[in-house]
Amino acid sequence: MPEYGKKSYWDDRYKNIEGDPDEPFDWMCGWEQLESTISPLLPLKSCSMLVVGCGNAPFSAGIHNAGYTNSIHVDYSEVVIEQQRKRYPQVDYRVGDCLNLTEFEDESFDCLVDKSLIDTMMCYENGTETTEDLFREMHRLLKPGGRLIQISLHKEDEVRPFNDTEGCDFVCTTCKLVNMKLFDPNTSRKESTESSLSHTFAVFDKLQGTSLEEREKITSQHPLNIVNALSDEALNELRAVVELDKPKDPRVVSWRDCNRPSDLFDVFEAVIEDYSEIMAEVLEANRTEILEDIVLAKASADSSSSPSSSSSSVELSPEEAGFSSSAASAVSTELELDEDLREFIVVD
């Protein structure tokens, strides 16, 4: 696992070997997904806000552009802060160690937002103790009645215990938000494990320093009603959808070079279907004919091959393999398969 708990890891990540900036990247999800959940929890756009461990996420600019202009965005990597200042000059970026933000006085902020800094803290040496230090620092910086919003890759029962960090006086609500990257065509379904279905969304309200009346009012609001929180039923449905989709998704099988016709015979039936469609597009030909050609070719190869010659290393010419001339011309020449096409063709 990368050394997420080390500053040198982040500095190196943010500038590649040539010194070029890393592409902006949002861990877990961006402002677009979170806006409808966060906005009702922070109704006052003019609130003083600190976004901790901001990295190079477009999230910071999203939050600022949504109207939270009284926000400061901190990271301890000078490298990334310099890049972000150039990318988003309208945003107030600062360099700072979130475990010890001495530049800010006690009770400076109405709200704090942490997207995945907690996960990084858990990767530090003595991760639990360091995360507790983070909570104490967040607690110090919040005004009485102030709110810490946290989004984490960790599960709810790993996040909740930090509510009881010694020296902190919080009340919290946690819930799950769906991992939208599961449904992003640019990311692989290989991500769809049980633990990747959802992220934890947590709200910690600081009670320390509030009057008895305020304390009661804040406490009585918990558990908070959180927009887009996944119900158990929705999570089960999601589990079922992802599980059901898995066997249908050819991309779960690894790709190996599929330029030879004989390789095609090892391809799953379902993938042959997909392939005929792609070939039909390439050749601007009739898909049914191509599919029939492939099936015929496969049948004739099956019947003519001896057990020793049935391996994928046997080289048949396309015509020998029973392809029509149009399909043959497509498979006999070295097909320049682009990445999308390769994803569909699966040979183990």
Shortest CB 106 distance to ligand SAM, Å? 18
Name the residue nearer to ligand SAM (CB basis): 2 or 40: 2
- Residues that bind ligand SAM in the complex, under the rule CB under 6 A: 10, 26-27, 53-55, 57, 59, 75-77, 80, 97-99, 115-117, 119-120
Q: Give me the least distance between CB of 232 and ligand SAM, in Å please.
A: 27
Q: How many CB atoms lie within 10 A of CB 138?
A: 27
Q: Closer to ligand SAM at the Cβ: 98 or 297?
A: 98
Q: Are 206 and 139 in contact (CB under 8 A)?
A: yes
The C-alpha atoms of residue 231 and residue 224 are separated, in whole angstroms, by 14
Q: Which is nearer to ligand SAM, 99 or 235 (CB)?
A: 99
State the nearest-atom distance from the C-beta of 150 to ligand SAM, in Å.
11
Classify residue 227 by burial, with Cβ atoms within 10 Å: 0-12, 13-18, 19+.
middle
Using the minimum distance from each CB to ligand SAM, give the nearer residue, 32 or 243: 32
In the bound state with ligand SAM, the residue whose beta carbon lies nearer, of 54 and 301, is 54
Q: Residue 61 Cβ, how far from ligand SAM at the closest point, in Å?
A: 12
Instruction: Pick the closer one to ligand SAM by CB: 97 or 191.
Output: 97
In 249-348, alpha helices (H): 261-264, 269-283, 287-304, 325-332, 339-344
Q: Are 227 and 170 in contact (CB under 8 A)?
A: no
CB nearer to ligand SAM: pick between 88 and 265: 88
SS3 for 141? helix
Shortest Cβ 99–ligand SAM spacing (Å): 5
Query: Could you write out the three-class secondary structure of 25-52?
Result: CCCCCCHHHHHHHHHHHCCCCCCCEEEE
**Minimum distance of ligand SAM from residue 107's CB (angstroms):** 20
Looking at the Cβ atoms of 53 and 318, the one nearer to ligand SAM is 53
- Least Å from the CB of residue 138 to ligand SAM: 12
Give me the least distance between CB of 218 and ligand SAM, in Å please: 26
Whole-angstrom Cα distance, residue 342 to residue 336? 10
What is the tally of helices (H) and strands (E) in the chain? 14, 7
- Separation of alpha carbons 345 and 348, rounded Å: 10
Q: Give the C-alpha distances (Å, rounded to integers) separating 96 from 69, 79, 130, 210.
A: 19, 12, 16, 28
CA distance 97 to 134: 10
C-beta atoms surrounding 175 within 10 Å: 21
